[in-house]
Chain A
Amino acid sequence: SYVLTQPPSVSVAPGKTARITCGGNNIGSKSVHWYQQKPGQAPVLVIYYDSDRPSGIPERFSGSNSGNTATLTISRVEAGDEADYYCQVWDSSSDHPLVFGGGTKLTVL
């Protein structure tokens, strides 16, 4: 089945830009979705279809997807962005179409 690989952790200083990657074989041919999860809370969708933002999500959150890597970019990082981030794809060629990455802990220094 399809595998998504994320770095376990990313650290960034406030005001800087954080980039969280999600690797997969030819992931650029799939649509990637991103979720933010803060401790003790349910996940929240922050990016869908590679780069679209749901209403209420700040413009500081953006996404891209090409080749074997999708990237969630958070500009002007704030303390409140500290959370776990998960990428997800739908693998239409599989009997197990829903795949999550292992998650990345974003630490704001």
Chain B
Amino acid sequence: QVQLVESGGGLVKPGGSLRLSCAASGFTFSDYYMSWIRQAPGKGLEWVSYISSSGSTIYYADSVKGRFTISRDNAKNSLYLQMNSLRAEDTAVYYCARAPRRQPHYFDYWGQGTLVTVSS
């Protein structure tokens, strides 16, 4: 069955860096677009970044552009989010999510999320 398992979250000081990973299994990872979506405590869902199956097409939300980098390693069935220059407002649960193969404009599977806390 499809599984997405995020890791790499934790407590980091403002201005610091963190790298999130998402390990995928149960499907042919290289065929699917993927995304990172976050949720600040008590708030709604916020899309962060999106990457095509080959990695050739990438989008970022304005709130993270220039600070975050999405990437993937199809040989390792893994999705990554490198987060630099972290701010308090980046504190959130970060989910990785899979977009369906033929119509990759929504998300059919989500991981359980990893918590990132930015605080001094």
Contacts and interface: CB of A to CB of B under 8 A. Distances in A.
B105 interface: yes
B53 interface: no
A100 B45 contact: yes
Interface in B10-45: 35, 37, 44-45
19 contacts: A33-B105, A33-B106, A42-B95, A43-B110, A48-B108, A49-B103, A86-B44, A95-B59, A96-B59, A96-B62, A97-B50, A98-B35, A98-B47, A98-B50, A100-B44, A101-B44, A102-B44, A103-B44, A103-B45
Given A101-B44, A103-B45, 7 more contacts: A33-B106, A41-B112, A43-B45, A86-B45, A97-B50, A97-B105, A100-B45
Interface of B: 35, 37, 44-47, 50, 59-62, 95, 103, 105-108, 110-113
